[in-house]
């Protein structure tokens, strides 16, 4: 069966360019996706199909950088068509990093505000966690509706066979410390929920690494027990997680085969990202940025390699807006994609000495339409009741209109945080 998908163009895109995906699925379970050919057609789907050379293979979408950016922005819900409420937002984004850094505001609050604007209040997020609509798993907030897929991966910990060496090492370390693991389970069963500091720390074999987790035995044991689905974050006391037996926190979930869960999570992840690599290096966070074979293959002009794209985001006209986003936002977090598609120079500088920072400790990227155009160096002075903007870094000179839009966004952020906005330090 042949399917044709048209990409709508506007603005400074090449006039008359229409991309049609002449899709002839000839995948086999043993060999996977065939490479196919790139097809760009200025005419109808019929003539496009006629030009597609070679045997029955999957053709590849060819996108401009602008198209790729717009796909990513629409997927991230940062275009003019804002979501209606928190439920719609979290159902689309799927994973929001629950980092507790509040130099400006916690990441999850910034992510929700940048999409919902004046319709978002901080209490909305707290309520969704308290009612179980959202779950905190592996450092991310996730819709409870996604838990069956997540549970399938927990049940297969440390991963499907055959295991890699590092997975076998995890398994061996857990087995060596099974007594300590059981003591934590017994303590939580009797007295949970409890913060980590009140859990037993009786590990026999220390955790060894060259990084900052070296000898952080209880922390690593708790993290791995969480990955196995044995314990779960039941809430927080301030910034500190409170743990309990997982069955008291998570909803009942039907069994899903691991392969199906991986496919479903790849599809959901692509829907939330819009465009991503099929394979990518593992991120330091728990949420990958690759999507396997979900979606359709694409190439982006001026960028090496192939991508996977959700073709639904190529339909309809794009309408952008101004937004100020968290540096931990998923649209920003994949720095390689940010450089390749958005050509945006950005690094989170909170771990740099102050003298080596260019933009600020927790600089917030500024989006205008389909481009990131600057950064806001801001901080929340909670004692003084002030949201202080130290600088607005313009990658290129802002128009008067963009200045007004950025200021309006900052005023609304101050409203959310119940702080007075102070511009200019």
**Per-residue pLDDT, 22:** 35
For residue 381, tell me if it sits in a domain.
yes
For residue 267, tell me if it sits in a domain.
no
Strand partners, 137: 140
Judged against a pLDDT cut of 90, whether residue 8 lies above it is answered with no
DSSP for residue 135:
E
Greater confidence (42 vs 250) lies with 250
CA 85-122-194 angle, 5° bins: 115
- As a whole number of angstroms, the distance between CA 408 and CA 81 comes to 18
Task: Work out the mean pLDDT of the chain and round it to a whole number.
Answer: 87
Q: What is the pLDDT of residues 150-175, one digit of tens each?
A: 999 999 999 999 999 999 999 999 99
For residue 272, tell me if it sits in a domain.
no
Q: What is the pLDDT of residues 376-400, one digit of tens each?
A: 999 999 999 999 999 999 999 999 9
Number of domains in the chain: 1
- β strands within 131-279, DSSP E: 134-137, 140-143, 194-195, 231-237, 240-245, 275-276
For residue 400, tell me if it sits in a domain.
yes
Query: β-pairing, 386-394 with 420-423?
Result: parallel
Q: What is the mean pLDDT of residues 282-300?
A: 88
For residue 383, tell me if it sits in a domain.
yes
Domain coverage including residue 335: 322-423
- β strands within 205-339, DSSP E: 231-237, 240-245, 275-276, 296-300, 306-309, 322-324
State the pTM of this model: 0.85
Q: What is the pLDDT of residues 91-115, one digit of tens each?
A: 999 999 999 999 999 999 999 999 9
Judged against a pLDDT cut of 50, whether residue 29 lies above it is answered with no
- The pLDDT confidence band at residue 1, using thresholds 50, 70 and 90, is very low
**Per-residue pLDDT, 283:** 66
Q: What is the pLDDT of residues 190-235, one digit of tens each?
A: 999 999 999 999 999 999 865 655 558 999 999 999 999 999 999 9
- The pLDDT confidence band at residue 284, using thresholds 50, 70 and 90, is low
Both structure tokens of 388: 């202080």
**Per-residue pLDDT, 322:** 98
| 3-state DSSP assignment of residue 118 | helix
- As a whole number of angstroms, the distance between CA 7 and CA 74 comes to 14
For residue 219, tell me if it sits in a domain.
no
**Per-residue pLDDT, 24:** 30
**Per-residue pLDDT, 59:** 85
* Number of other residues whose CB lies within 10 A of the CB of residue 169: 13
For residue 103, tell me if it sits in a domain.
no
- The pLDDT confidence band at residue 58, using thresholds 50, 70 and 90, is low
| 3-state DSSP assignment of residue 274 | coil
For residue 263, tell me if it sits in a domain.
no
Contacts of 385 (CB under 8 A, 6+ apart): 418, 419, 420
**Per-residue pLDDT, 214:** 55
- As a whole number of angstroms, the distance between CA 201 and CA 183 comes to 9
Judged against a pLDDT cut of 90, whether residue 184 lies above it is answered with yes
Tokens 């949420």 identify what position? 287
**Per-residue pLDDT, 215:** 59
Judged against a pLDDT cut of 70, whether residue 81 lies above it is answered with yes
């Amino acid at each position: 069966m042949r399917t044709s998908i048209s990409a709508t163009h506007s603005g400074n895109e090449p006039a008359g360019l229409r991309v049609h995906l002449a899709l002839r699925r000839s995948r086999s379970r043993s060999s996977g996706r065939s490479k196919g050919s790139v097809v760009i057609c200025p005419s109808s789907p019929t003539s496009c199909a006629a030009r597609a050379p070679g045997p029955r293979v999957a053709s590849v979408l060819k996108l401009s950088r602008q198209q790729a950016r717009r796909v990513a922005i629409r997927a991230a819900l940062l275009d003019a068509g804002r979501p209606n409420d928190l439920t719609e937002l979290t159902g689309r984004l799927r994973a929001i990093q629950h980092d507790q850094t509040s130099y400006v505001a916690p990441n999850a609050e910034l992510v929700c505000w940048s999409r919902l604007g004046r319709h978002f209040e901080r209490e909305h997020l707290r309520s969704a966690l308290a009612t179980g609509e959202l779950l905190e798993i592996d450092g991310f907030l996730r819709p409870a509706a996604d838990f069956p897929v997540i549970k399938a991966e927990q049940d297969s910990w440390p991963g499907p066979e055959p295991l890699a060496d590092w997975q076998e090492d995890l398994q061996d370390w857990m087995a060596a410390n099974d007594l300590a693991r059981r003591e934590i389970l017994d303590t939580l069963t009797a007295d949970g929920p409890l913060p980590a500091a009140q859990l037993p720390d009786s590990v026999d074999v220390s955790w060894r690494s060259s990084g900052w987790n070296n000898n952080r035995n209880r922390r690593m044991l708790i993290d791995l027990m969480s990955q196995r689905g044995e314990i779960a974050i039941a809430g927080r006391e301030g910034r500190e997680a409170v743990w309990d037996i997982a069955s008291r926190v998570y909803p009942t979930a039907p069994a899903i085969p691991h392969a199906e869960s991986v496919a479903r999570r790849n599809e959901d992840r692509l829907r939330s990202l819009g465009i991503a690599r099929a394979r990518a290096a593992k991120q330091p966070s728990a949420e990958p940025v690759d999507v396997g074979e979900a979606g359709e293959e694409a190439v982006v002009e001026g960028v090496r390699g192939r991508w996977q794209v959700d073709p639904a985001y190529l339909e309809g006209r794009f309408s952008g807006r101004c937004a100020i986003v968290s540096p931990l936002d998923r649209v920003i977090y994949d720095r390689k994609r940010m450089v390749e598609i958005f050509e945006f120079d950005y690094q989170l500088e909170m771990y740099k000495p102050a003298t080596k920072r260019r933009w600020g400790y927790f600089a917030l990227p500024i989006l205008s339409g389909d481009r990131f155009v600057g950064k806001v160096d801001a901080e929340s002075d909670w004692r003084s009741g002030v949201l202080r903007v130290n600088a607005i870094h313009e990658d290129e000179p802002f128009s008067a209109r963009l200045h007004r839009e950025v200021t309006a966004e900052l005023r609304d952020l101050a409203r959310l945080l119940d702080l007075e906005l102070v511009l200019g330090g």
